[in-house]
Structure 1
Amino acid sequence: MHRTLIALAASLCCASAMAATEPAPPAGVAQLHDIAVAPSPARIEADIRTLVDFGTRHTLSETESDTRGIGAARRWIKAEFDRISQACGGCLEVKYVSGMVSGEKRIPDPVEVVSVIAIQRGSSDPNRYVVMSGDIDSRVSDVMNFTSDSPGANDNASGIAGTLEAARVLSKYKFNGSIVYAALAGEEQGLFGGKILAEHAKENGWRIEALLNNDMIGNIEGVNGVIDNTTARVFSEGTRVNETPEEARERRFTGGEVDSPSRNLARYIDRMADEYVPNLDVMMVYRLDRFGRGGHHRPFNDIGAPAVRVMETNENYNRQHQDLRTEDGIVYGDTIDGVDFDYAAKLTALNAVALAGMAWAPPPPAEVEIEGAVSPDTTLRWTRPPQSQAPHLAGYRIHWRLTTEPQWTNSIYVGDVAEYTLENIVIDNYFFGVSAVGENGAQSPVVFPGAAGSFGGYTVTETP
């Protein structure tokens, strides 16, 4: 082990010396520290209470009433996004995205599933999107019961309140890429709001860099008895579900099973928590979602987009999908008293710094390639985006780690180049990646070489 550490230190020294002539941008972005403490627990509490007061937000519930049901809830959410936009001089494009669903197990009769989105357009790369989402709808024990009270305070008024609060905070800034704040409907009935928005994004040529699905971000007391307000979970899938046979064959020989864009998005969020969010540690879970379960990030994974689930670490199943009742001294139901508003604000801050960091950063490197078989050196290549899309690009950083390490442990800034060789760092022993760095220090997620790790290209598509 001693000889191994000496060899690694020597190789790091060599690599650092090669890049020493290229000055690196600032380490971190000062504004992200301000963003990390900006979300207000009081505003989040007020929003959750408003959503709970609609009685039920079941996808099949009342749509005509102004005080009860999912129709009233979505109109209130849209009005709130409109108010946020008015406060920032019209910086948000607020609209409904909907589709008709019928003939499904949980939606047998025709129902219009209506989500609400607010788009904050980027200045130089508006067709690159980072998305934060929460779910409007709620349910009780019987998933088809759309009349009983279903407060859905934590599941998932907390995610909607966090998304609204992130919009309030981030709308005060201008970004290079676009940010979407999405309130999705139909989650409990089959992830239909996410499916409809994912199809909308695909049809309109959105380049989705990341989707952060927030589903339950307010509970700190688990059914296991653990009380914890200092950790959060980020779930991410491994290989893309739409990987081709040819891509699978390449991955078998080059690696990438734990380096999908979703996994490296999770690593990015973990790093942002460490650098900017006080007293919060991210648990990266290498799984699409909780065991055998699902969430609204999955439809975006299904179209090949990087997407993860952000949520509390300790769930309380007595407060999820339950009729309001007390049995054997146990209180069941997703009521307001089960939400910790400070914790919800902390997870909102995690989302906000991640969204801002990516939207300020240049786009992730495209067409990343690697070579170095039977060689002492490792060479990486990538393509640079058009100047119009990344006028603030400073250069690139190469990352590597032992294959058993969960997080990137070594990196070197190499400047504004499209190829770089790490001398005496053997390709067989590590995983490698490349990130783009802006002049202000904002950095993209790390991109693993090949199709397995690709975040997509730079193709510019006109947005309607």
Structure 2
Amino acid sequence: MPRVLHVLLASLVLTHQIFAQTIPPPGRCTPADIWPQGPGHALVPQRPDAELTKMLSQISPERIQATIAKLVSFGTRSTLSNQTDPVRGIGAARDWIAAEMRTYAAASNGRMTVDVPSYVQQPANRIPNATVISNVVATLRGTTEPNRAYVVSGHYDSRVSDVQNAVDDAPGADDDASGVAVAMELARIFATHKPAATIMFVAVAGEEQGLYGSDFMAKSLKAAGVDVQGMLNNDIVGSPTGDDGSHSPLDIRMFAQGIPPTETSAQINSRVSIGGENDAPARQLGRFVAEVSQNPLTSMNVHMMYRPDRYLRGGDHMSFLKQGFPAVRFTEPHEDFKHQHQDVRVENGVQFGDLIEFVDFDYVARVARVNGAALWSLAQAPGTPKNVTIDTSVLTNNSTLKWVADSAADGGYEILWRATDEPFWSHVIPVGQVNMATVQLIKDNVEFGVRAVGKNGFKSPAAFPFPG
């Protein structure tokens, strides 16, 4: 080959290599590739402070095991089972949960109270006779913003194959003594601390019959004007092992709904017109949980699922979503359906039934740490900004956002942004203690959010702006 052609070919190869290194492959662009001089800096996830670090270290697999074992010992916790027998049935379980919660509250110097709100459900779907539905609620009152509240829950009722069967043993170890154990263990630890906002640790009934207990609670909170800014539902969080042989001990699924069920057709059209389908309050709550709960203290990967729940299933978070409250559901990564909604039996050498022997208590403890990190970070931060808007009155390459100032945001505000195809916030622009800011970034190219910052360093979930 002539030398000149050899040199030319080498030059072309080198140019191709440089070009390939400079231009990312299709579909793999990042904001830095497109806007290398974009405003702000890369988002650094919030980390637990010293108090939260200590709280998470106190979560005990042994205590979680004892709680689940006690709930299983009541034989059946069917919502339709006996409510007056002191040792068997849902009534005995209710009374034990309330008594145990009160022992936690005794250490709170009056900040935590325990109630058993109840109502009589008349015959309805899966409720053949008038039935008392009782929730157990331990409320740790916020020190500075008591009306802003966060809820963590599990359901304490259980079932077998026939949901109307209130007689046979229904251990309900995974579904959902595991979720109740998460809420109770956090209540025990949080009772001696002082969150800025209120936290409610809840065990609801009636879930298997049709979300009756959570529906009653969500409607009651709505009627009382409580500002519920986040609800974490733990339902089937007892094992990382599925019936397909999979085993993922460091993973938890978090289901987060897209378009809120409370939005009108006009609101949905507005959301869709600006590409806000992935920025509903539940998704913002989910992003927040993923940010603050994935760290060495939890050792967990939080996988946000872009749907309200699994196929053919539903949970208590849906009752809160229907009242306009942001809510997500935690569920183990791979389920074993032999151990859910099944009569306790052996068929062809295979054990069926929701038995305690199939629960991994260390795993439940890690799930509790995920919840604990999220709850404390929510309650210690200012509330999510309200009435966030973006100016669309004129064509401009700048973006102006406005929101209602909150005195609790004594550390100011931050504007978050990400590329439209990114799942999580990637960049932060601190803007100080203001209620309006203009940034040099084209709103057509990115998604924006605004979050509040406290002087203590805790930051709220983001609020998505709509045209003002």
Q: Same fold (TM over 0.5)?
A: yes
Query: 1:209·1:306 contact (CA, 8 Å) conserved in 2?
Result: yes
Distance 1:450 1:231, change over 3 A: same
Given the alignment of the two structures, is residue 443 of structure 1 paired with residue 459 of structure 2, yes or no?
A: yes
Query: 2:289·2:374 contact (CA, 8 Å) conserved in 1?
Result: yes
Query: 2:298·2:369 contact (CA, 8 Å) conserved in 1?
Result: no
Number of the residue aligned with 1:426:
442
* Per-residue deviation, 1:170: 1.3
Q: How many residues align?
A: 439
* Per-residue deviation, 1:297: 0.6
Structure ranking higher on relative contact order (CA contacts 8 Å, 6+ apart): 1
Render the CA deviation track for 1:95-150: whole Å, top value 9, x for unaligned. Answer: 01112112212002100101110111101110010000010100000110000001
Equivalent position to 2:434, from 414, 417, 433: 417
Q: Which amino acid in structure 2 is aligned with residue 353 of structure 1?
A: A
* Per-residue deviation, 1:275: 3.7
Number of the residue aligned with 1:401:
418
* Per-residue deviation, 1:6: 5.5
Render the CA deviation track for 1:346-372: whole Å, top value 9, x for unaligned. Answer: 101111111110100011111101125
Equivalent position to 2:306, from 280, 283, 286: 286
Residues 12-23 of structure 1 mapped to structure 2, 5 A cutoff: 12=39, 15=40
Given the alignment of the two structures, is residue 152 of structure 1 paired with residue 172 of structure 2, yes or no?
A: yes
CA distance in 2, matches of 1:201, 1:126: 13
Q: Which amino acid in structure 2 is aligned with residue 317 of structure 1?
A: F
Given the alignment of the two structures, is residue 227 of structure 1 paired with residue 243 of structure 2, yes or no?
A: no
Residues 150-299 of structure 1 mapped to structure 2, 5 A cutoff: 150-275=170-295, 277-299=297-319
Number of the residue aligned with 1:354:
374
CA distance in 2, matches of 1:135, 1:432: 36
Distance 1:29 1:42, change over 3 A: same
Render the CA deviation track for 1:410-431: whole Å, top value 9, x for unaligned. Answer: 11222111111111x1111111
SS in 1 for 2:254: strand
Query: 1:276·1:353 contact (CA, 8 Å) conserved in 2?
Result: no
Equivalent position to 2:78, from 58, 70, 74: 58
Identity %: 40
Query: Of the two, which has the highest radius of gyration?
Result: 2
* Per-residue deviation, 1:27: 6.5
Distance 1:379 1:243, change over 3 A: same
Distance 1:427 1:85, change over 3 A: same
RMSD: 2.0
SS in 1 for 2:115: strand
- Unpaired runs of 5+ residues, structure 1, are 17-23, 453-464
Number of the residue aligned with 1:8:
35
SS in 2 for 1:380: strand
Number of the residue aligned with 1:378:
399
SS in 1 for 2:208: coil
Distance 1:28 1:43, change over 3 A: closer
Q: Which amino acid in structure 2 is aligned with residue 374 of structure 1?
A: L
* Per-residue deviation, 1:175: 1.1
Q: Which amino acid in structure 1 is aligned with residue 396 of structure 2?
A: S
CA distance in 2, matches of 1:147, 1:364: 46
CA distance in 2, matches of 1:263, 1:451: 19
Query: 2:79·2:209 contact (CA, 8 Å) conserved in 1?
Result: yes
Number of the residue aligned with 2:327:
307
CA distance in 2, matches of 1:416, 1:138: 49
Query: 2:240·2:251 contact (CA, 8 Å) conserved in 1?
Result: no
SS in 2 for 1:235: strand
Q: Which amino acid in structure 1 is aligned with residue 87 of structure 2?
A: T
CA distance in 1, matches of 2:338, 2:269: 45
CA distance in 2, matches of 1:139, 1:233: 23
SS in 2 for 1:367: coil
Render the CA deviation track for 1:424-462: whole Å, top value 9, x for unaligned. Answer: x1111111101111111111111111399xxxxxxxxxx
Render the CA deviation track for 1:254-303: whole Å, top value 9, x for unaligned. Answer: 22111110011111111112246432101100000011310001111011
Distance 1:8 1:36, change over 3 A: farther
Normalised by the length of structure 2, the TM-score is: 0.90
Query: 2:390·2:467 contact (CA, 8 Å) conserved in 1?
Result: no
Render the CA deviation track for 1:301-324: whole Å, top value 9, x for unaligned. Answer: 011110110121111100000111
